[in-house]
Amino acid sequence: MEAPEQGIERLHHFVTERRRALGISRAQMFARGGPSPSTMNKALTGDRGLSRSTLERIDRALGWAPGSAESVMDGGTPTSRIPASSDAACPAHEHVVTVLESTRTQLHTALELVEGLLGSGHAR
């Protein structure tokens, strides 16, 4: 299937391709720090736009370079976070970076939750 020229439909096309290449579901993309499946569905149906922070979450979750999701919506193509040392990028390296970025996001979220609990009157 050919990608639409621009807009959310184009982004959806590239996100779906990338998820297939990584072998991840929408829920797994969310677990990697991406937007929830419902956020993506609302954007596709026109019920809600995508904020800059949501586009950034897409980039991180899929291992894309910052600004790729926004570029895709404007008719561009996503770029990998890891520059290729040869003509072809190494999918294993991209996957490792994607997993590490997701882990960092999850750890940051967990730290905020712990700090919130400790700050709300629980003994240290």
- Position 1 in a domain: no
Which pLDDT belongs to residue 124? 47
In tens, the pLDDT along 85-108 reads: 444 456 666 677 777 777 887 888
Can you tell me whether residue 82 is helix, strand or coil? Answer: coil
Higher pLDDT, 4 or 30: 30
- Position 124 in a domain: no
Helix (H) / strand (E) containing 98: helix 91-119
Cα 31 from Cα 7, distance rounded (Å):
25
Domain count, the chain: 1
- Position 3 in a domain: no
- Position 72 in a domain: yes
**48: how many CB neighbours lie within 10 A of its CB?**
14
- Position 35 in a domain: yes
Q: Could you list the residue range(s) of the whole structural domain that residue 78 is in?
A: 8-119
Which pLDDT belongs to residue 92? 63
Which pLDDT belongs to residue 89? 52
In tens, the pLDDT along 110-124 reads: 888 898 888 865 554
- Position 96 in a domain: yes
**What b-and-e string marks burial along 35-44, b requiring 16 or more CB atoms within 10 Å of the CB?**
beeebbeebe
